[in-house]
Structure 1
Amino acid sequence: MPKDHGIGASSKRREDVRFLSGRGVYTDDMALHGQTYAVFVRSNVAHGRIKSIDTSAASKMPGVLAIFTGEDFKDVGGNPAGWLINSRDGTPMREPKRPVLAHGKVRHVGDAYAAVVAETYNQAKDAAQQLADDSDIEELPAIVDMKKAVADSSNRVHDEIPDNLCFDWGWIEDNRAAVDAAFKSAPHVTTLELVNNRLVPNAMEPRSSIGEYNPGTGDYKLTTTSQNPHLTRLLVAAFVLGIPENKLTVVAPDVGGGFGSKIYHYGEEALVLAASRKLGRPVRWTAERTESFLTDAHGRDHVTKIEMASTKDGEILAIRTETLANVGAYLSNFSTATPTFLHGTLMAGPYKVPHVYVNVKTVFTNTAPVDAYRGAGRPEATFSIERIVDKMCRELNLDPFEVRRKNLIQPDQFPYTTPVGLVYDTGNYQATLDKLIELADVKNFDKRAAASKAKGKLRGMGLSTWIEACGIAPSNLVGVLGSRVGLYDAATVRVNATGNISVMTGAHSHGQGHETVFAQIVAEKLGIPESSVEIVHGDTSKIPFGMGSYGSRSLAVCGAAMTKAVDKIIAKGKKIAAHMLEAAEGDITFEDGKFSVAGTDKAKTFGEIAFSAYVPHNYPLETLEPGLEETAFYDPANFTYPAGAYLCEVEVDPETGKVDIASFTCADDFGHVMNPMIVEGQVHGGVGQGIGQALLENTSYDENGQLLTASYMDYAMPRADDVPFYTVDHSCVTPCTHNPLGVKGCGEAGAIGSPPAVVNAVIDALHRGGHTHVKHIDMPVSPARVWSAING
């Protein structure tokens, strides 16, 4: 029977009560006494030299309280990248300062170079338009194409960087000679050039920030749409504005989605704080949707050449890749880690590949900054691997299922060290593949293909076997690799006198269901109702520290810290119970919410122990302090490695090129599953985004750096009729061996495994329809691209 509560139960999301009834509290919902409004003046050219900004007319307009330009911030710090990456020759990356407001030059359309603060939003907007009219910006040639950016040293995004390269990274450089030798002697070599198309994250809630300064205390408060409040506090305080960290509180209330784009610090957050200090009043800003398109960190944008050496029967001998990765005009906080250690280290996938070498050149262009987006490097790696495996199978006339099965790491080979430096601790990739074949009814595909043909459609089947590394860790390793932050997390569990619980966690929930799942875990471990557990997150004044939510780390890292804190609570409770029950501590057991003396009926409930901790009339005061509150930090020993197998079936209309997803099946291994319903929802959402990338979404700039897809009129988000009902399974379980919950993470899986499954299915459909000249179609696989491929 399915569980109805606790770990493993499909408990309904308790936070949905307020969300679905309109009682959520988002940053833009907050109306503060004396609040003012900021509007940013943004560049309408991709590359330009700021010659002058005349503020005289705008400053006299009704309601205008202050005007800021880049000159006001030229002497403060800049927003840094979170990872320092060295080029393969050992030189450190080029790291230009990312200012609060641009000064000297603007470097992408939407780059903010001034801001107006006024009594009302409309007054601020009118004055911002006046300020834009009174600004003289000399347009310079835009740098958009990565290959041209590297080739032309005379045109520079940053004047001090002659080749527009941030770094030229090789991983692992010592592998290079062995990889080259493997290719030289290989019986077969497959080559594929492909694009991981640029995406705009498009969370439901646009970014929004409110800055408050208290002149009486010198305290600052930033309320903002952040996935990572503590990191934002660290960056603003230590690097951008020079505020003592203890004088800045960052609060992220309800946040309507992030997908990575809200991990980072943006200049708007610093501006509203600086403006509030100047005015002595709250300053608020909320992005319009087009501002989000122009300025939120974009995702993906890789151009890759991948080569695979193999035997004639499909055994993989080596993989070699060369990638140009766009970082845009400035380095966002994780932009240097995404194309390197989150991408290159996954380039072996779930396969027994003896030799791998990855080269990544990151390029500055006059486009919006690019950073981690759902999956962050792992979708890019998986797409490259799974597309070239399929292409190799076609070239050698081999079964794509059997080739993958032959190359998958075997269950008895774990822990398995890959040639790109990761150690997979556990897995069973054959089990997920077998489950997929069963659930997708592969044996009857030909019947379905015949039915499609009768309707004039071409049916194809696309396979993807994938692995990801998430819960980034450990701190000592990533520190060597270039991380400038620790990747541990923390939680505090506070037991109140009446036995109910407050859990302060470093994870931030913006759609994941933390308030439900974390409560399930704590309630089961303590044997109390889930309704007795409150989850507190998103407020740096209440939480010891936290690195936020991204990279499928919430359960594997934050949940582990929370579990360790609960274990400390239980350990202290046993000491209190031993005193109250006049027994040895070693004889006390804890189960189902009771501390008992083993072998007797003597027991105290958890509530009684909690009350005694706060009313210590019968308490071992000589050895224990009163109270029942514990904090734990957790720094993982390794990444976690979710894995799975996905199969997509499509119907292609050869007359129009339109692709319809007929079915999509997922077999995943997420380790232990805390809430099956929430896991299923996470997979659904990820697959939906993956289908969006594969078929619909594409961020397009013209040669002048103008964003052609700056609204929903031009940027095609997936709609309900673009996605099918999914078949999702997570019954193949190999628990993570190094965290106390045995969990692996599930939030990004769907977006990692689905794009290659979709594209493989489209190519398969065309080949089955006789269009064997089509070797590859870049994403998005739109009707126009499919029709063009069919027709040569």
Structure 2
Amino acid sequence: MPKDNTQTDGGIGASTLRREDIRFLTGEGMYTDDIQLQGQTHAVFARSDVANGVIKSIDTSVAAAMPGVLAVFTGADFAEVGGNPAGWLINSRDGEPMKEPKRPVLAHGKVRHVGDAYAAVIAETRAQAMDAVAAIEADIEELPAVINMAEAVKGGSLVHDEIETNVCFDWGWIEDNRAATDAAIKAAPHVTTLELVNNRLVPNAMEPRASTADYNKGTGEYTLYTTSQNPHLTRLLISAFVLGIPENKLRVIAPDVGGGFGSKIYHYGEEALVLAASKKLKRPVRWTASRSESFLTDAHGRDHVTKIELACEKEGTFIAFRTETMANVGAYLSNFSTVTPTFLHGTLMADNYTVPNVYVNVKAVFTNTAPVDAYRGAGRPEATYSIERVIDMTARELGMDPVELRRMNFVKPDQYPFASAAGLEYDSGNYDRQMDKLEAMIDRDGFEARRIESAKNGKLRGLGLNAYIEACGIAPSNLVGILGARVGLYDAATVRVNATGSLAVMVGAHSHGQGHETAFPQIVADMLGIDLESIEIVHGDTAKIPFGMGTYGSRSLAVCGSAMVRATEKIIVKAKKIAAHMLEASDADIELVDGQFTVAGTDKSVSFGEVALKAYIPHQYPIEDIEPGLEETAFYDPANFTYPSGAYACEVEVDPETGKVTIEKFAAADDFGNIINPMIVTGQVHGGIGQGIGQALIEQTSYDRDGQLLSASYMDYAMPRADDMPFYQVNHDDGTPCTHNPLGVKVCGEAGGDRIAANCRKRCHRRTATRRQKYHPHRHAPDAVARLGRHERQRSLRDV
């Protein structure tokens, strides 16, 4: 159980300072772009400046003859290799499998979005490669672009001619609920209907994507350094589907990674290209994205258009939710793009409520835009946004208090385990208690006085409150396999105890801002009763870790952390046997307390360090019963999702003359179950809220009718800054522990951002000024002064 949250160091429950921050804040981190290999060459990509077009010809002769150029690749060089597949197979309502066109390494035959790479140059320097790319002559016959999803569904211009439709799938969940839900809505005394847009976002991690490949001709082995949240999956996809490299010959290393938020889960074609080029040249090949490339080619997030209906009794009891959503998947299917709008979204459409009928329909649509995939929250924010907005609208129509409407429909503590109408089984929670805390934190009773005071100053003031639940720790494998997952969603950990008593803990989760190097040792140190500083966390290298499914979906602690607990438990079992031999006792009588193995009821003991040394000097214990060494591996496949929940409130003041929105108060009351490090949890919530504010008030990805990205730089895409943020009130005390993982954790990595859009947009919306911008592959980003000026102009255009 968690300890006193005021601790500054120690095990579970302590706010231990993040040890990894020392190297990050002092500039000692090692990122992919920092890796310099002997003989390193540079890759630059030729990218389409039209959204939809047939490649008639590509002339690379001039480029190939330019100074420093070592090789030029086009899509024809990869025509016979595999394509990057989607990670989940989704069937339509009629049982037909989704349409799954090939996603090539380089576009071949056709380009399908602005920024689609159709050629690559490898040269001695980046400047030489850029010059050569500019010399490539590509004859691309431009076709009408399909950008709007409603138009795409009607047909006409096709993104993929070979599948003869722009609809990837037409999915229903739960199809058996459809008739009952339709009938319930038809007969309901009151039905509220709301149509809304969940706007498209560019993730904009601090570090752009980068990949460096090194082929060893002596051994036939490949090493790929890359900005990945999921190095084992990257290796699996490249080996099994894209290039056919034997998995034992491919090592993927994800060193320090400067943020991901989902956009670095997936395999991208640039990774395969540098591997193939390195083999051809027998030299390392490096590529680092420019910020313009990141805007154009990193997987975008969200982009849903939804119609939601809430049916209820006249006194407010919920009867049914029904939604119809069009989800933009962009030009190609990315690895998690098919599960995000379906099972990560549809299964949450009952939210925190006891509604008996739920039906969800999702049409995934191809368009001539950048691929869309999981972004922080991944389906859960889209569900929360739809449900909480329609509940508020229902409250207004019924003349009810929106909080009381929620309370009367909340799942109650004595109803757990609770089977939701959307197909999940919630194991624990207390939503009324969270709402109680929230109302006290936000001083709801004092809002009317604050509103009147704002009005005296010529300002408008609004308050939005909502509740949420999300499914995290993506699992279990047997369930997700039935639902279409093409991989298992377990994780693994190895605990290696060295002879001197220090530990290396090798985990399948990848840390790129989450604080694993601090929180994971807290768990192991607590279990063994040893010093935190003696424990090292190893991650991000497929050669060192048995397997792992990476970091996303708030799964690191619930899944990989549980694997780590299981491996440590095995260590303790074996260590007790060694200690028993040393103490001439039965291992059943050995207790481990504060790093000491003691014979129960006696003062006879040996330290953990002494046992560790004895494990590697087994001169006196029977090796037929105890093998030398002290190292254990465990795989953990969870029994269920975890279900973090909470209630959030946002109070804003709006200047009607300028449209400027100021967030005056923000409060978050969360239930994350047991908490390992409260300080890290608070930081995660703060970061998520910041991203949510960005989506609600500032960020907007915009394409024109020709498929040109209008928001292709920080001149046109505004990111939230410090002065956009309020001081947050955050409370995650008194959580209800998860009942089915050994740590009792529900996790927190995608909270905050999932909720704020539903709050802010109740009281304000913004319109974003953009200008039409034709993409040029090597147009440099504007300077910082111009960026700031544009940002200020955008912020002044917010509307009530």
Residue identity in the other structure for 1:234? L
Please give the residue correspondences for 1:103-142 in structure 2 after superposition, counting only pairs within 5 Å.
Answer: 103-131=108-136, 134-142=137-145
How much has 1:782 moved relative to structure 2? 7.5
SS in 2 for 1:705: coil
How much has 1:784 moved relative to structure 2? 4.8
Residue identity in the other structure for 1:498? T
SS in 2 for 1:511: coil
Residue identity in the other structure for 1:510? H
Please give the residue correspondences for 1:393-472 in structure 2 after superposition, counting only pairs within 5 Å.
Answer: 393-472=395-474
SS in 2 for 1:727: strand
Please give the residue correspondences for 1:265-276 in structure 2 after superposition, counting only pairs within 5 Å.
Answer: 265-276=267-278
Asked if residue 43 in structure 1 is aligned to residue 56 in structure 2, the reply is no
* Partner deviation per Cα, 1:170-220 (whole Å, 9 max, x = no partner): 000110111011111111100000000000000000000001100000000
Aligned to 2:510: 508
From 53, 58, 75, give the equivalent of 1:53: 58
Asked if residue 184 in structure 1 is aligned to residue 189 in structure 2, the reply is no
Structure 1 pair 782–183 and aligned structure 2 pair: CA distance change class (3 A): farther
1: CA distance, partners of 2:657 / 2:26: 46
Task: Answer yes or no: is the 8 Å Cα contact 2:213–2:275 preserved in 1.
Answer: yes
Residue identity in the other structure for 1:543? I
Aligned to 2:777: none
Task: Answer yes or no: is the 8 Å Cα contact 1:452–1:651 preserved in 2.
Answer: yes
1: CA distance, partners of 2:164 / 2:330: 16
Aligned to 1:713: 715
Please give the residue correspondences for 1:302-313 in structure 2 after superposition, counting only pairs within 5 Å.
Answer: 302-313=304-315
* Partner deviation per Cα, 1:689-710 (whole Å, 9 max, x = no partner): 0010000101000000000000
Task: Answer yes or no: is the 8 Å Cα contact 1:273–1:283 preserved in 2.
Answer: yes
How much has 1:365 moved relative to structure 2? 0.3
* Partner deviation per Cα, 1:304-358 (whole Å, 9 max, x = no partner): 0001101122211100000000000000000000000000000010011110000
1: CA distance, partners of 2:160 / 2:173: 26
Instruction: Give the RMSD, CA atoms, in angstroms.
Output: 1.0
> What's the TM-score once normalised by structure 1's chain length?
0.96
Identity across the alignment (%): 72
* Partner deviation per Cα, 1:579-605 (whole Å, 9 max, x = no partner): 111111111111111111000000111
* Partner deviation per Cα, 1:446-485 (whole Å, 9 max, x = no partner): 2221221222111111001000001111000100000000
Structure 2: tracts of 5 or more residues without a match = 766-793
Aligned to 1:654: 656
1: CA distance, partners of 2:31 / 2:733: 37
Aligned to 2:610: 608
From 697, 700, 719, give the equivalent of 1:698: 700
1: CA distance, partners of 2:265 / 2:344: 16
How much has 1:161 moved relative to structure 2? 2.3
How much has 1:656 moved relative to structure 2? 2.3
Residue identity in the other structure for 1:6? G
From 8, 26, 33, give the equivalent of 1:28: 33
How much has 1:747 moved relative to structure 2? 0.8
Residue identity in the other structure for 1:51? K
* Partner deviation per Cα, 1:83-104 (whole Å, 9 max, x = no partner): 0000000000000010000000
Aligned to 2:76: 71
Aligned to 2:202: 200
1: CA distance, partners of 2:171 / 2:704: 28
1: CA distance, partners of 2:623 / 2:221: 38
How much has 1:783 moved relative to structure 2? 6.4
Aligned length: 767
From 354, 357, 365, give the equivalent of 1:355: 357
Asked if residue 287 in structure 1 is aligned to residue 309 in structure 2, the reply is no
From 319, 322, 330, give the equivalent of 2:321: 319
Residue identity in the other structure for 2:67? P
Task: Answer yes or no: is the 8 Å Cα contact 1:222–1:248 preserved in 2.
Answer: yes
> What's the TM-score once normalised by structure 2's chain length?
0.95
From 5, 13, 36, give the equivalent of 2:10: 5
Please give the residue correspondences for 1:134-153 in structure 2 after superposition, counting only pairs within 5 Å.
Answer: 134-152=137-155
Aligned to 1:786: 799
2: CA distance, partners of 1:752 / 1:142: 32
Aligned to 2:500: 498
Task: Answer yes or no: is the 8 Å Cα contact 1:462–1:761 preserved in 2.
Answer: yes
* Partner deviation per Cα, 1:714-740 (whole Å, 9 max, x = no partner): 001111111101000001310000100
Task: Answer yes or no: is the 8 Å Cα contact 1:462–1:762 preserved in 2.
Answer: no
1: CA distance, partners of 2:611 / 2:654: 65
How much has 1:785 moved relative to structure 2? 6.3
Aligned to 2:574: 572
Task: Answer yes or no: is the 8 Å Cα contact 1:668–1:732 preserved in 2.
Answer: no
2: CA distance, partners of 1:762 / 1:704: 30
1: CA distance, partners of 2:215 / 2:70: 16
SS in 2 for 1:749: coil
SS in 2 for 1:175: helix
Residue identity in the other structure for 2:201? L
SS in 2 for 1:760: coil
2: CA distance, partners of 1:601 / 1:751: 53
Residue identity in the other structure for 2:434? T
Asked if residue 626 in structure 1 is aligned to residue 664 in structure 2, the reply is no
1: CA distance, partners of 2:764 / 2:59: 55
* Partner deviation per Cα, 1:540-593 (whole Å, 9 max, x = no partner): 000000000000000000000001100000010111111111111111111111
How much has 1:762 moved relative to structure 2? 3.5
Judge which range, 614-623 or 393-402, deviates more.
Answer: 614-623
2: CA distance, partners of 1:782 / 1:762: 13
2: CA distance, partners of 1:128 / 1:397: 63
Asked if residue 260 in structure 1 is aligned to residue 265 in structure 2, the reply is no
How much has 1:221 moved relative to structure 2? 0.5
Task: Answer yes or no: is the 8 Å Cα contact 2:697–2:798 preserved in 1.
Answer: no
Task: Answer yes or no: is the 8 Å Cα contact 1:431–1:732 preserved in 2.
Answer: no
Aligned to 2:727: 725
* Partner deviation per Cα, 1:421-447 (whole Å, 9 max, x = no partner): 100011111111111111111111122
Aligned to 1:249: 251
1: CA distance, partners of 2:795 / 2:746: 34
Task: Answer yes or no: is the 8 Å Cα contact 2:172–2:362 preserved in 1.
Answer: yes
Residue identity in the other structure for 1:606? F
Residue identity in the other structure for 2:79? K
How much has 1:419 moved relative to structure 2? 1.1
Task: Answer yes or no: is the 8 Å Cα contact 2:661–2:798 preserved in 1.
Answer: no
2: CA distance, partners of 1:143 / 1:713: 25
* Partner deviation per Cα, 1:651-691 (whole Å, 9 max, x = no partner): 01122222111110000000000000000000000000001
Judge which range, 424-433 or 293-302, deviates more.
Answer: 424-433
* Partner deviation per Cα, 1:497-547 (whole Å, 9 max, x = no partner): 000000000000000000000011111111111100000000000000000
Task: Answer yes or no: is the 8 Å Cα contact 1:613–1:619 preserved in 2.
Answer: no
1: CA distance, partners of 2:594 / 2:315: 56
* Partner deviation per Cα, 1:26-64 (whole Å, 9 max, x = no partner): 000111100000000000000000000011111110000
Aligned to 2:781: none
SS in 2 for 1:114: strand
How much has 1:112 moved relative to structure 2? 0.2
Task: Answer yes or no: is the 8 Å Cα contact 2:325–2:363 preserved in 1.
Answer: yes
Aligned to 2:770: none
Residue identity in the other structure for 2:55? I
Residue identity in the other structure for 1:473? A
SS in 2 for 1:649: strand
